[in-house]
Every structure is written in structure tokens, then in C-alpha cells.
Structure 1
Amino acid sequence: MKNRKNILLAIGLLLIGLIAGWIIKPSNNHKTESSDDQNIGSSEHQEIWTCSMHPQIRQNEPGSCPICGMDLIPLEITGDGGDPGLYQMSENAMKLANVQTMVVGRGDASREMRLNGKVQVDERASYSQSTHIPGRIEQLAINFTGEKVSRGQNLATVYSPELVTAQEELLQAAAIRSSQPELFEAAKTKLRNWKIGDAQIEQILSGGKAIQRFSIRADVNGIVTEKMVDLGDYVERGMPIYEISDLSKVWVLFDLYEGQLAWVKEGSKVEFTINSFPGETFEGKISFVDPLLDSQTRVSTARVEVDNKDGRLKPGMFASGVVKNTMSAGQTQELIIPKSAVLWTGKRSIVYVKTDVDGRAGFRLREITLGPSLGDSYVVQEGLEPGEEIVSNGAFTVDAAVQLSGGTSMMNPDGGKQSTGHDHGQTQQDQTGQIKVEVSKNVNNDLNKLVDDYLRLKDALVKDNYSQARQHAQAFEKSIGTVDGFNPEAKIVWESYEKELKADAVIISGAAKIESMRERFDELSTTMIGMVKTFQLTNKELYVLHCPMADSNKGADWLSASSEVKNPYYGSAMLTCGELKETIQ
């Protein structure tokens, strides 16, 4: 305050001197002196301090963001002949804001696709073993899935009354076959239709009596993957009794989402791993891409055929694959920029292009047309040329500064000063830079409920009670979603708090131990203190307490309904470590 008074006194004396000089010797020179003095004053207040996450915060001196507690960054604004589309920053401001640039160039537009899938039975090698004899299952030779069977192996024994009757008809026809050979041949044909071979027919004729039970034999080699009957079941002719699959070859079916279909083609090479064989990599080619998309899951499949003679791969195993693909045709290369350089407005994609103006960095908004996504980068179809320099990191910070200066920005394509939250009737900013927002009674009650949940969480940490802390953190997270009813101006401010509160609550409620909860509790407390002050929650007296040893001796604050120090960062280990820092009334 003393320094500020001295500066004001000096400026006052200077103005008095200028006025006296003008009175004593009026001339055209006084205009130049006055103009120079104004330029000096303008340059002194040229630097604006703002928050990279909350650009509506503007202060003339450094400090912390009243919303999230982050250190404010300087953004130096200078004119450029009245060009609203160009914004200049000094090198110092760029470094502090971590603004980085890159020169745009061409490269191979390749993308690495990560796919998840499962090992499945080759449908072409799957056989449904059916019975050719109707009757009752009297014996099962294969009693469980997974058994290996060979072609011709006995699978089950069936008693068939119909087959017994047919055999008796054969024996009766055999007795008169000399006079009625056609009847005898018809009886044998009837048995052959049930897959009774000539050897068995001769056995029936030589024995002179009907065979009571017949065997069902395997038609193929493979593994029984499904058993469909039980002992005593009655089966009809042609009914499936086992599913037999040859697992010497299997399929690995990978899920393909709609956005991945353009990058995965038949013939694409795949490297994949199986969870059951860590450290081992398999290779294959995509032999088929399903032309149909599941209407519910919106997923298609890509098939890789794999030799499995050793039987290591089992149907149902999970697989993780990587497909490397390129969209560049021949020698053609694409213009590629990182995703961090692009800002989205919903309909438009924009970047900031850097130009040098009088030795300073100037940034101009440029709308571009994007092509396919390459994971962490994009292909640019229109709007940029090779060799141009763009902001690759910190584009949002640059855009926030442009908005503050009234230039052409992402949300203000026509330029001109944009109103910020503290400029409205119900949203103000006090002399310390703290935003003050008026809300309705219902919103105030919802926010105070959030404070109550926070205080319960704090008390559980004080008591070293992990289970209660987790329960209250979950209740706190749920309460965040119930806060509603803001006016449009206040909602902008609330959304900033809401995002950070949710992130902190999710981490705390999901922490595996109480130490991890305490590590995040300091960030949650900083946000809550800012929220209480911003929305002027004065239903009860609250206290801001400070522990100098928390956060690796950096110090951390917390809210409390009592001025008595009970430390949530250390609990019973250092329960009274801390001091009263502020009272919120």
C-alpha cells in the first residue's frame, strides 16, 4: 500500500509539473509531452494477469486464481495498428504461459489402431454331430465338453423300437426272398436309410434276430465343444447330440468401431498378444471384415485366421491387437498437425498461426478443415500450408488472452470486447480479485449441502476412518450432480468449479488407502474455499485453517465449521498441527 501511495504521489507531482509548464510556456510541445506520458502509463499497465483455465479472471498484478488456486500468468497485450485479428505476446509471457509453436510439415499419414478381441472357433471347422437313429439314449461314451474324439469313435448307444421293427421285417422278408425278392430288397434299403451298413445287415440275417441297441459314431475328428443330450433322452432322427470342432485352426475376432472401419482393411497386418501368454507376440493378416454392423453395439468384426496345431489357443481367450495402417497413396504425403494445436467450437476447427511483427510474436486465428484422426494428430485438408508456424501447445491460453483483449477469437469471431462473469449485474469481482456471484435460495441450499458433505469427509479424515471417508466422498460426488438452477451468468462460473470438484471427488472416492485421499484433499479444499467465497455461502460461519507441513511442507488449507484445529492431513498423528487463517462470515 505504501508503494502504491508513493507511485500515485509521484504521478500527481508529475501532472502538476506538466500543467505548470503548460501555463508558463504554452506551446505545441505540451501535446507531445502529454502524449508521451500517456504512452508511459499505458505501457506500465499493459501487462494483464489471468488464469489459463479461467480466462474471465483479470488482475493488474500477480497472484492466484480465485476459482482454482492456480498461479496467474502474464499476458502482455500490445496494439497492431488496430488489427483485431492479430494478437501479440512477449517472449517472457510465452514462456510463463508455456506456449509452444511448431512448423507445419508433411509426413506419412499412418495410424496405429489398438483392437480388442477374442479367440473363437473356426466356423468352417465346426460340425454338428446328429443321430441317424431315433430312440432312447441308453449309454453315452462322451460325457463332457472338451473331450477329443476321432472319426468312427463310438459316441452313444441308442435303443430304437422303430429299428427293431424294421429288423423283424427284414427277417420275415428273408424267409420269402426266393418268391418275393423285391420285398427283401426294400427291407434292406429301409435299414440302409438309417445308416445301417451291409455288414450289420448280414450280422442280423446270420444271427436270425434283431439287434436291440445301435451305436452312434463320430463323423469327424475334433474336440467336443458342446454336449446337447443326457442319458435317457429320447432323440429323433437328425437331432444334434454333440458339437464337434477342429481346433487346429482358430479365428481371432477383433471388434471394430465405426470410426475404425476406414483404417482396417482385408490384408492388413496385425500384431496381437494373448493375455494367457504374457510377453509373447503373434502375427497374422486380416482375412475378412464383416460387412454388417451390429445395430445395438455399433461394432463390426475383423477376422484373423491362426494355425493352432499345438492347441495352445483356446476359444474365449482375450486378445489385444495393433494394426498399423497408412492412408498415403504412393509417394503422396499428408499435412499433419498435433491434436493439441486444434481448438473446437462444435462446427469449426481452428488453430493459431504465428507471425513475427517488429520482433515480437503475433498470433492470428485460422479456420481449417480436418481430415482423419491419426491418434494424437490430425490430417489437415484445407487451411494451412507447409512451412507455416502454428501454436502446438497452449492454444487455449492464447485464445483466452485474445478474448480478453477483444480480438478475433474462437468464441468471438467478429472481435470486440467480450463480457466476463464479473461484468454482469449478479456477478462481480471484489478488490482482491475474488469473484462474487449471487444465486437463488434453492441453489444456495444445494451448495450448502455440498459444504456439509465436504465437512463430513474432512471429519472422517480427522478420525483416520477410511471407510467413512470413502462413503462421504461418494456422497459428495453425488451431491455435485444435484446442484442446479443457476442463471446463465452464474452457470459459467459454476461449471468451472463443478469440473474440478468432480475430478477431486472421483480420485478420493476411488483411492485404495487414506493416505491417497489426503494427497488429493488439499486440491479439493482449495476449490471448496474458492466456491464458498464466490457464491457467498453465509448460512453458517466457516473457518479456513492452515497446516504448514501438509503437501510436502508446502502447506495446505481446509474448511471447518469450528475454529478448533483438527488436522485432516495427518489425523491422530498430528491432530493439532495448524492455525486459523481466515474466518468466512
Structure 2
Amino acid sequence: MKNWILSAALPLSFALVACGETGTKNEAHEEAGHAEEEGEEEHAEEEGVITLSEAQIRSAGIMLVPVGMAGSGGAASLPATIEADPQGMQVVTAAVSGRVVALHRNLGEAVRRGDPLAVIESREAAQMQGEIEAARARLALARSNLGREQRLFAERVSPEQDLIAARTSATEAGIALRLAQQQLAATGRAGGGLNRISLPSPIGGQVVSRTAMLGQVVAVDTELYRVANLGKLSVTLSLSAADAATLRPGGIVTVTAPGRTAQARISFVSPILDAQTRLVPVIATIDNRDGQWRVGENVSAAVDLPSRDGGRAIAVPQIAVQTVEGKSSVFVRTRTGFQAVPVDLGPVSGDRVIVTKGLKGGERIAATGSFTLKAELGKGEAEHGH
């Protein structure tokens, strides 16, 4: 009977041990499974990441554009023209007739305000500078007489009337000298001789036109140079009255041309329709300190059109959207490179498309060159698969 009890207990203990071992194996299997899932999650977090340095980005020709807000009313893509800022372009003319005897600047050269551009030899210049010298001499004589009359009046030798007359003469001589100097300043400044006028640059910038030639005889108001400060340019475009009614100064205009994209800010929305086109002229200001835009260039301008209820959305260039693993994605700039971010797209307007989900606004994304990033991402995934 005792042996039966022991033999009966053995299977029970064995079963308990087996259960314990099975539980341990299951727990180990579950832990392994969790570890595998965590590894997959970590791998998933690394998917879509491309590591590139700033030098590599520039070498690949990848252009970054900021993600801007667009009106839920859409975005209008319009032809536009780059023009010089009216306050940044100055024409230098001959203020006196004469002969050009010196040219100090050529096309493309940088100038500072006040730098000499040309020297004109002129009889008018000789006459003006002669009047200055004569007025200066008269002023010196008048001041000398005034000093003498002040001494005589103090010694009670000369009457006060003579002192007043001397003081008046000195004042008039000073006025005559200043007038002669201002007449010369209106035409230029002394150019190294009594018969020469030097024409200074009115602003700092770059010489963009030079029509003057050495030895040329010029008349008054003949154009000799054009100097432009091209660090800031204007973008001119025209919109319908309905679209222009939603715009305000300060709005964003995305300017694109082959290989270039930049943002301009609206500075003027005309309250008057153009008589011929029946459209509203709009002017935006664009930063050109890097010199990538040229005056007279035809470009494309995408204008955010806010809806009348004030709703806002996000718009990106169509060239920035690539298909990655069957999903529309954009490449967002990170500290170490780029991250492929899936996005949901809305309506297309011109060269831009509305993003309804996936971006918050304010990110920098790859526009030109985004296809290169897609190819690089595909190559990296293929290598990882092998």
C-alpha cells in the first residue's frame, strides 16, 4: 500500500516539475518575444532615416524650403517678374555740361555711398568754384571789418551804426558763401581743379549700367551710371479682385524658378485695378543678399489665399512629395539628415499641394533633390535586407 502511494505521488510531482519547466520556458519565450518586438520597434524607428552632413546636402543639390501655412481657400500659382526695389536703384546724371575726363568705376564693381564715379571738366564748374572762392574772400574781409568795428566801438571811437552795418555785411557774406557751396554740391563736388566736378555715388551697391565714355561731351541730365542695391528686390504679380481681397501686407509668396525657391513677403496690395488687365497689382519683397535672383527675370509665384472664415492649412511644393513604400511622404530635415514623414494630401493648386495630415508647419523639407533622398533611402533598405 505504501509503495502504491509513492508511485502514485511520483507522477504528480513530475507533473508539477514539468509544469514549472513549461512555465519557465513560456516566460522565457515571452521575454524573447518582447525583446524581439522591442527590437522591431527600434528598427521601425530607424526606418526612413537618412544621415547626411551639410556638405553632402549641398553636394547633392538638395534645396530646403520651409513648410508654410496656406489658406484653406487654396493657393494661386501665377507668373511674376523680379524687379529692382525703387528705393534701391539710382541714376547718376551729369548736372553740368562738359567733357568726361575720368571714370572711376566699371560695370559690376561695388561702390559705397560717396565714392567718386566720374569727373567732368566744365566751364560751369569753373564759374561755380570761382564764385565760391570769391564769396569766401568777401566773408573774410567782412569778418575783418566786423572785428575792427567792434574794437572801435569798444573804444568809443566808432558809432554803433557802423558796428551794425559791419555785422550785417558779415552775415550776408556768410549766406553768399553757403549758397555758392550748395550750388556746387547740387552738381557734384570739387574734382581736383577749378574747372572739374566729381560725381559721387548716391547709394552703396553695385554698378549695373555705365553709358559714359572718356572724352565724351555730355549735356545737363545725361545719364552716366546706374547704381543698384540688389540686396532686396521686388516681385510683381497680378491677381483677380476676389483673390486680392483676401490678401494683406505681410502675407507669404513662394517664388520659384529653375533650381531656386524662396519666400517673399507682400508689401503692397493695390487698391486700384489695372485699367488694361482689370487685375490687382501686388508687390512682394524678396531677400536677395545671396544674389540668386536677377532683375527682369520671369518666375512663378504661389500665393496663399486665406479663406474668408480664416481657416488655415499647410501647403508644400509638389516636387517635395515622393512615394515611399506606397505612401506619399516628404523628407523633413533633422539634426543629422532627413526623416521620411508620411503625409495625407489634399487638393493641388499650381505647383503646390495641400497637406492635411503629417506636418505641423514650420519644418524644413527637401524640395529640389527629394528624389535623390528617395533613391538613397531605397538603396539603404536594400543593403539592410541583404
TM range (shorter): 0.3 to 0.5
Tell me the TM-score normalized by structure 1. 0.32
Work out which structure has the larger RCO, using CA pairs closer than 8 Å and 6 or more positions apart in sequence.
2
Query: Which protein is richer in strand relative to its size?
Result: 2
